[in-house]
Structure 1
Amino acid sequence: MTHRTSRHLALATAAVLSLGLTACSATADAADERLDNGDLSTVSIGIHSGWDEGIAVSHLFAAILEDEGYTVTNQEADPGIIYTGMSGGDFDVNFDMWLPETHADYLDEYGDDMEDLGAWYDNAKLTVVVNEDSPITSLSDLADASSAAGNRIVGIEAGAGLTRIVQDSVIPAYGLEGMDLLISSTPAMLAELKGATDAGEQIVATLWRPHWAYDAYPIRDLEDPEGALGAAEEIHSMGRTDFTADYPTLSSWIKAFRLTDEQLFSLENLIYEGNGASPEIAVRTWLDANPTFVDDLKAAAQA
């Protein structure tokens, strides 16, 4: 290698490093830019893969924030990856921490590196549902009336917590050993719900709130007087450390954010049963159908 070649390589390397430093500096400058409302202009949302309510709400907020001038990015991953990323500052906010039970371990491990921005939904729970016109109203009545639904409880995946709780708690608590718990998959369970309700047939199935099926199909929960399915949980929004300081306006909106069952189920239904519409298009459709939602949210934040 000649001295000249070495010098050219050194100059080229220096130029690349200079460009890299300039790009990093530009990225840092962009990340530090603030909007007129005092917030940083960029927001990254971490979304739990497969958690329909969190996916729906995350895309709803992304649309709202884009309209307000923010640059929004989002990424789906398992909850553990999301909370690890938040603790390291890779994500700014997550809208789907179930408390006090489901995500308690994550809160214990990463809570010191996150801010709890409050609960936006307070009726998250495991359920057993029937068709709306079923004569059965309570799990305590199910054993005596099980033949009407073919002595079946249509379940979901074998490894799901809901499946375990129905097997270990619900069935013995209500004497349902004479019913078959069909362990299959969530899509198969939903297909059974659709088929039975479309045909006007009786069905008993495991489900959970929130879920778009409550908006899509004529179904209702069975009462659980023994509490075998557990108490309702809250769904919290979580910000990374210093989120409120970096996003004073957005944090006030998130703290004021609430969705009713009707609002949430209709939003989810547009995404998951909306003729294949992307989440981005579905949330725009929902916002068009709820034209005062953003203004109401801002008003609630200022109250």
Structure 2
Amino acid sequence: MKKRTIAASLALGTTAVLGLAACSPPGSSSSAETLDNGDKSVVELAVFNGWDEGIAASWLWKSVLEDEGYIVNLQMADVAPVYSGLTTDDYDVVLDTWLPTTHADYVEQYGDDLTDLGAWNDDAKLAVAVNADAPIDSIEELNANADLFGGSIVGIEPGAGLTTAVQDATIPDYGIDALELQTSSTAAMLTELKSATEAGENIAVTLWSPHWAYDAFPIKDLADPKGTLGDAEGIHSFGGKSFTSNFPQLTEWLEGFEMDTETLSSLENAMFNSGVDGSDYTEVVDEWIAENQDYVDGLTS
């Protein structure tokens, strides 16, 4: 699973509300509900709070689709409400489903009303990460060195799949009873990670890749010899209950969507090191698109 000036992004977090409804773009009329390609003109694109790879991919597709005449509303939400909302068409699509492990429970629960549009990245993984100079290299060593990390593992949102995996598998399987998993938000975790690494202090956090933190901070993943966090996963796009009928063309485009980790990291770093406040990445993304035009043109070719 994955990867700013950093201080500005962390202070405001990547969970800023992004529910932006654009004015009618070129190629559509203010009253039109359907585009010439047969798709509904308005796309409600759900974005998981704090999941930077999904935020980056969603802003990319927002720009791409608005150039094609769509109106794209980015709707920030926590993981569980997104899957429920997809089944009722409150959201049309989400680009950040990790399978076969992280979001498997949600897909099992709501799968009859969801459409898997395929994986666009196959190099996603969950991890417990520590500062690069920490004197341990494996989760097996964590409990015996609890004092080094203040008796805590700094986590992210309570409802995240990563949190569930650490709580239900990693902690019991390794017999971790000397450290407590502290959950709050991804932004809060990154703030603590930044503070600790700048101060030369030890810290253990739950993290995933691709994520820009691996480029920004001196950190390393702890080995997981018991495999409690699973193998590398695929990041899938999932459509909601009526997605394929409402968006036949977009269905085809997303089914063909591919983005390797290097390209994704490039986009994330451009966005999250841009110094913008997190509410509008339009200009940054458009600049990135101009530098990667051949790749972007292929998304809708």
**Matching residue of 2:274:** 274
Contact preservation (8 Å) 1:42, 1:70: yes
Q: 2:285 aligns with which of 283, 286, 291?
A: 283
Q: Is the 8 A contact 2:137 2:222 kept in 1?
A: yes
The letter of the residue matching 1:62 is K
What is the match of residue 156 of structure 1?
Answer: 155
User: 1:51-90: per-residue Cα shift (whole Å, max 9, x none)?
Assistant: 4232322221010111233333333344454444443444
Counterpart position of 2:170:
170
Match of 2:127 in 1: 127
Q: Does 1:224 align with 2:224?
A: yes
Q: CA deviation at 1:191?
A: 2.1
Change (3 A) 1:165 1:89: closer
Which of 166-175 and 60-69 deviates more? 166-175
Shift of 1:164: 5.7
Q: How many residues align?
A: 269
Task: Classify 1:29/1:115 alpha carbon distance in 2 versus 1 (closer, same or farther; 3 Å).
Answer: farther
Q: Residue 75 of structure 1 aligns to which amino acid in structure 2?
A: Q
> Between the two proteins, what is the percent identity of the paired residues?
44
> What residue in structure 1 maps to residue 46 of structure 2?
47
Higher relative contact order (CA 8 A, sep 6+): 2
Matches within 5 A, 1:181-196: 181=180, 183=182, 185-186=184-185, 187-196=187-196
SS in 1 for 2:155: coil
Say if 1:46 and 1:77, in contact at 8 Å, map to a contact too: no
Secondary structure of 1:56 counterpart: helix
Q: How does 1:17-166 map to 2 (within 5 A)?
A: 30-34=32-36, 38-40=37-39, 42-52=41-51, 53-134=53-134, 136-142=136-142, 149-150=148-149, 152-156=151-155, 159=158, 162-163=162-163, 165-166=165-166
State the alpha-carbon separation in 2 of the partners of residues 182 and 91 from structure 1: 31
For 1:280, the aligned partner's letter is T
Question: Which residue of structure 1 lines up, in the alignment, with residue 19 of structure 2?
Answer: none
| Higher Cα Rg, which structure | 1
TM-score of the aligned structures, taking structure 1 as reference length? 0.70
Aligned to 2:259: 259
CA contact (8 A) 1:46 1:82 kept: no
5+ residue gaps, structure 1, are 1-25
Cα distance in 2, alignment partners of residues 96 and 204 from structure 1: 24
C-alpha deviation, 1:232, in angstroms: 4.0
Counterpart Cα distance in 2 of 1:177 and 1:220: 22
Q: Secondary structure at the match of 2:299?
A: helix
Question: What is the Cα deviation at residue 282 of structure 1?
Answer: 3.5
TM-score (norm 2): 0.70
Structure 2 residue aligned with 1:12: none
Distance 1:291 1:175 in 2: 50
The structure with the greater share of residues assigned to helix is 1
What CA distance in whole angstroms lies between the structure 2 residues aligned with 1:116 and 1:237? 6
Which amino acid letter does the alignment assign opposite residue 276 of structure 1?
A: V
Shift of 1:271: 4.1
In structure 2, relative to structure 1, the CA distance for the partners of 1:256 and 1:130 (3 Å cut) is same
Distance (Å, rounded) in 2 between the aligned partners of 1:108 and 1:69: 34
Equivalent AA in structure 2 for residue 282 of structure 1: V
User: Given the superposition, is the C-alpha separation of residues 103 and 202 from structure 1 closer, same or farther in structure 2, using an over 3 Å criterion?
Assistant: closer
Q: Aligned partners of 1:223, 1:268: CA distance in 2, in Å?
A: 25
Taking structure 1 as reference, are residues 229 and 41 closer, same or farther at Cα in structure 2, changes over 3 Å only? closer
CA distance in 1, matches of 2:157, 2:73: 34
Q: What's the counterpart of residue 292 of structure 1?
A: 294
Q: Distance in 2 between matches of 1:89 and 1:41?
A: 13
Alignment correspondent of 1:14 = none
RMSD of Structure 2 on Structure 1 (CA): 3.6
